Structure 1
């Protein structure tokens, strides 16, 4: 039972009611709030994640959890960030252009904050494919439920389990693919249907992508989709309940299906990003 700097018996380690937190796949049902803390299972790569979060705290980035220690059950203890994560059914306020822009700006702020962090002493999860690895430590999993909002504005990123050496473009591809979203309209069952291309441009503008990055984004989106498909497949094959449920849900797009759809959309994507 330890806290920051090896302290014991710290206030955050007092027992209290455990409130399950919604969202997520890998740790579904295993993440709880206790007072002003969040308790999550430790992982092989937790020391790397904790070093990253400690760096973000040291440089004054407020948009990520603080590491407090471990509790009596051997779980990591993080500071709770007040606000709302976006979970289904998605509320209307989370699908506005204002919310989308705030996600892009938060991501840009994170990338500036993490730029000076050295990942080399640590062991990380599987990295993105070349050439999307090694520029900086990316979040690598910018799903809707991994962003905390207050007052309709994105204020924090959570769930850094897949964080590791990546790149700005890789994180942008991941976020835009899911937030715009960049996928067939038939699979979009909320107010974003028919708005993907326009919202992709909104995200790119708010983040501040360069012309070269905009030209490279469609290919990055395709590889990001395929990489995440591989992550899901590996976990499902290993019997992970959350990923098995997602695998069997029928909402997952196969790599070949998505690649074919995206190839047909490439002229429209490039026009949306450059127009």
Structure 2
């Protein structure tokens, strides 16, 4: 039997089921939800319009978030996904999120993921095209803050670099002739964020980030029995080793 709270399942939701009901999104509440809602409230107070707003808990005990219209950037045409303007917009949005979140560092809270010192900001921990929202050919938002936790600016930026420079082997439709050489895109990303770090430091952090992600994904595979998690973890380990070998410009080779 269904009721109005069943909603329409949304794509993704690798961690927990996510459904849309009208202009809201509902997802499983956890011990971390209060901290995430505080983070979203901090973004709202800072005037950030690119993040969902927390609206409380529904009758089924799920958190209620506002729905951000648009499509996942990962599903956009390559001309949007890999556009230099998208690269710089993503870096700028991540910087604004980090700056707004800094006052929460050191405050009491429960987070789903462990801290990643030095704890300078609240990291999204999955700031990537599949969680970025595009509309009319431009980046307009970011979703899915359930994995947020205190960490370093570099930790978050390194994963964005992995996904949007891109440094990953599964970069659908990327062409360095059309969209720019990866070395140049990496420098642009770091400069657009305004991080005082070398591109080499970002690549090194990306390798460590992928090691941690592979271990996490392998644990999820054991719990869920999902073979796609096994495949994802294997790719993360391949990419981490490739980055450590110095092969940044030709992923998958």
Shorter-chain TM band:
0.7 to 0.9
- The offset of 1:31, in angstroms, is 1.1
Using the size of structure 2 for normalisation, the TM-score is 0.85
Structure whose alpha-carbon radius of gyration is higher: 1
1:180: which partner in 2? 165
Say which SS state the counterpart of residue 198 (structure 1) adopts.
helix
Q: Deviations over 1:168-195 (max 9, x none)?
A: 11110011111111135xx444224684
> 1:80, 1:188 → 2: CA distance?
27
- The offset of 1:214, in angstroms, is 3.6
1:68-107 to structure 2, matched below 5 A, reads 68-88=55-75, 91-107=78-94
Distance 1:189 1:118, change over 3 A: closer
Distance 1:166 1:250, change over 3 A: closer
Q: Tell me if 1:125 matches 2:112.
A: yes
Say which SS state the counterpart of residue 163 (structure 2) adopts.
helix
Say which SS state the counterpart of residue 265 (structure 1) adopts.
coil
Q: Tell me if 1:37 matches 2:37.
A: no
Q: Deviations over 1:12-59 (max 9, x none)?
A: xx94772222234213xx211111111111122111111111121122
> 2:154, 2:185 → 1: CA distance?
17
- The offset of 1:215, in angstroms, is 4.4
| Runs of at least 5 residues in structure 1 that lack an aligned partner in the other structure | 1-13, 270-275
> 2:212, 2:26 → 1: CA distance?
28
2:12: which partner in 1? 23
Distance 1:42 1:66, change over 3 A: same
Distance 1:232 1:265, change over 3 A: same
> 2:61, 2:49 → 1: CA distance?
26
Say which SS state the counterpart of residue 39 (structure 1) adopts.
strand
Q: Tell me if 1:136 matches 2:121.
A: yes
> 2:35, 2:192 → 1: CA distance?
30
> 1:265, 1:180 → 2: CA distance?
15
1:262: which partner in 2? 243
Say which SS state the counterpart of residue 113 (structure 2) adopts.
coil
Q: 2:218 aligns with which of 233, 236, 240?
A: 233
| Runs of at least 5 residues in structure 2 that lack an aligned partner in the other structure | none
Distance 1:91 1:268, change over 3 A: closer
- The offset of 1:87, in angstroms, is 3.7
1:166: which partner in 2? 151
Q: 2:235 aligns with which of 253, 261, 264?
A: 253
Distance 1:207 1:87, change over 3 A: same
> 2:4, 2:232 → 1: CA distance?
40
Q: Tell me if 1:196 matches 2:182.
A: yes
